[in-house]
Chains A and B, each alone.
Chain A
Amino acid sequence: MDLNDTPEQAQYRAQVRAWLEEHKSEAPDVEALSEDDVVPARRAWQGKLAEGGLAGVTWPQEFGGQGKGPIEQVIVNQEIAAAGVPGILDVIGLGMLGPCLIAHGTDEQKSRYLGPMLHGDEVWCQLFSEPAAGSDLAAVQAKATQQDDGTWRLTGQKVWTTNAQFASYGLLLARTDADVPKHKGLTMFVVPMDADGITIRGLRQISGEAEFNEVFFDDVALDADAVVGGVGNGWGTALTVLMFERLTIGLGAEGFGYNAARFTKAVAQDEHARRDPEVRQRLGEINTELLAIRFQSYRVLSALSQGAIPGPEAGLAKVTTVKAAIDAGELIADVIGPDALDEDSEWAYMISFLPGLKSAGGTEEILRNTIGERVLGLPPEPRLDKGVPFSELRSIEKQGAPA
């Protein structure tokens, strides 16, 4: 059992640390910048990180990456956090969408998009979820129709889109054939976000802030070469993105800032609370789960370094993270009192954020179904949509379950 760096990893860590030491004065002070200046400053900083080899760590070298493994990515993440500087801005692009283009894109797409993505010159967003297609992602309705000249016309709506308001491109899952079963009629597209017919609207959440967007597409023209991974292959292409998403979640459960030290500190400041048996029981339960999450992520890393890819059970770490953080929010509010719910309080923000996070990346209910079937091997829930052309699904749904 070894949690330490190998000599090679230690050497890499030293090299990363030295680079950060030399360049950290160039990093933007995000707190001090105005809202409008943050994104350009962070894009420029991502460019510097890329030049230093601290972005696209796991990308192949031919696309400007470092060709290293997930352990090295984690080393970079840790050193960036330790240096107190911002990380890359486009986590979704570099972590999920870029790898998907590398796996499924044409040579032209790779040479056109990957470089600017890596350097933060062009930020990307993920256009998958829709108001009626979240956990059941293959139910997307955004419709792309091929024209006689081979180009496409896209109409529909996406939602929960991070970074859409300043993204240059989006990777979009659309229905291109409604007369086949739903997983088969999908195609992935690259969408320029400044195209005519696109409307982006901030989506305010419980806290009042808009961290996500709704994106509307009204007869948007797409070139013939906007297709990624082939027409009708959108589901397989999307699964690649979701696999990288799982990897990102498995490695970064503590990335949300939900950790034992932070929550304990909030309770410890109250002399009465720290001796209160009920408070201590709740705190002990919460911290046990958070410690478990930390070692779960080490297990993921360990498996990755042996060449294994985490399975769907890695999603359980997210369930535990959200559960522990929800319990912590309530405990801290109980200890602090209504001041914890002041709109400016970090706890009010966290408490407001968590109910939505519970469903992010797929609801817990569907995640538990998937894990039950794919990990435990339990029989699937009977489905009404199997083998049915997408165009006929609505009428079946309206009829309800067979009596």
Chain B
Amino acid sequence: MNLELTDEQQALREAATGALSRVADYEVLRDALEGAARPENWGLVAEQGWAGLLVSEANGGAELSLFDAMLLLIEAGKLLVSHELLGHLPATTLLDAASYPGTADYAEGTKRAAFLAARPPGDVETAWTVEARSGSARAAAPTLNADGTVSGEVAWVVDAPGADLLVGVAVDGSGTAKTVAIETGASGVSIEGPVLRYDSSRLLGNVSLSNAPATVLEGADPARAWYVAQALLAAESYGAVETALTVSVEYAKERYTFGRPIGSYQAMKHGLVEILRQRENAYAVMLYAGWSYEDKPEEFALAASAARTAAGHALDYAARQQIATHGGIGATWEHDAPLFFRRSQLSRRLLGGIGDSTDRVAGELLAA
């Protein structure tokens, strides 16, 4: 039994913290909310070798574990740094599995891919679905036409604008789901975006495909990529929880009311310990996700869904508690707490949403 980080993982974390803190800037995020350019950090991602974290060495990647990638996303989440890895990394697992020609470019970061996130069928719903533009119902996954082109709409695709390649699911005439890769420069591909939506650190786009030429990726498992995305979003959320807790605890020690530091009040203390409780639970299920990805693949869907659920709730709670701990000042534009709140509010609704991952936890166990 050993769940401690290895020396290599510690080094990865430290290197990530160092590199990310060079580009972390809350002021830029605030400015971007008012129309300034969104922070672009893909150059750093490529330079650090993070683009190929999950690609095998044979295809030009670093062939690290999913948990290593999660550790990186924790560090990025702590500082609210934009990275485009939430779309790119799951896509590269599919390219790598199929040894898609040119995978090395995506591993190197000279090109960038985005995952057209499609939710796999569960114990109740039998279809592959994608995000709809609005409403609570999910939309049908794109169609793989008889001529090999793909048509369909996928809304709120993370990291799609500016990507060179979209990788996702298309369902053929017989109802079989295929993994497809679509060059964004090809005819019939249109990406609306970047769409600025509440969290300026997040890159979003709406994808329309109309008879777009596609390559079918044999040997790739798109369901696994969906859960990779869930696990990565969990890690990124966990990182933001860490910062929200640290900052709130520091403030609660320094701020005095009625002659006492506010952290001495039981009500305040219990709220902060609740963040800690949820954070620790999230980390525990993240370990489960990282471990099962390699050692217990049949439980990965459950573990990644649970990680997303736990970390998502932890961030929802922590982001609100951070504002409450700071009192009125925490709800002002100048304060950083609202940036974490914005992160939580958008994150909880992406990639199926927290309600969906929670349902999947139940579904996986009910079907077991």
Give chain A's interface residues, CB within 8 Å of chain B: 1-5, 9, 71, 260-261, 264, 267-268, 274-275, 277, 279-281, 283-285, 287-289, 291-296, 298-299, 301-303, 305-306, 313, 316, 319-320, 365, 368-369, 371-373, 375-382
Contacts and interface: CB of A to CB of B under 8 A. Distances in A.
Interface of B: 1-4, 65, 67, 123-124, 245, 249, 252-253, 260-261, 263-266, 268-270, 272-274, 276-277, 280-282, 284-285, 287-288, 290-291, 295, 302-303, 305-306, 309-310, 355, 357-363, 365-366, 368
B284 A382 contact: no
B358 A302 contact: no
Nearest to B260: A382
A76 B281 CA distance: 26
B359 A378 contact: no
7 contacts: A284-B361, A285-B309, A292-B281, A301-B1, A305-B1, A365-B266, A381-B266
Given A296-B281, A372-B272, A382-B264, A284 B359 contact: yes
A260 B365 contact: yes
A296 B276 CA distance: 13
Contacts of B261: 378-379
B365 A283 contact: yes
Contacts of B277: 316, 319-320
Nearest to B252: A378
Contact of A371 (B4, B124, B276): B276
Contacts of B290: 1
B358 A281 contact: yes
Contact of B362 (A281, A298, A319, A369): A281
Residue among B3, B273, B363 with the highest chain A CB neighbour number at 10 A = B273
Contacts of A382: 260, 264
Contacts of B310: 288-289, 292
Contacts of A293: 281, 284
A316 B288 contact: no
A378 B361 contact: no
Contact of A267 (B4, B65, B249, B366): B366
A373 B276 CA distance: 12
Given A302-B4, A372-B263, A378-B263, A295 B287 contact: yes
Contacts of B270: 365, 368-369, 372
B272 A376 contact: yes
B4 A381 contact: no
Contacts of B245: 376
Contacts of A303: 4
B212 to A, nearest CB: 34
A376 B252 CA distance: 10
Interface centre among A277, A285, A291 (most CB of B within 10 A): A291
Contacts of B2: 1-2, 302, 305-306
A283 B1 contact: no
A319 B278 CA distance: 11
A378 to B, nearest CB: 4
Given A288-B309, A291-B302, A299-B287, 9 more contacts: A264-B365, A280-B363, A287-B362, A292-B306, A293-B281, A296-B284, A376-B269, A381-B264, A381-B265
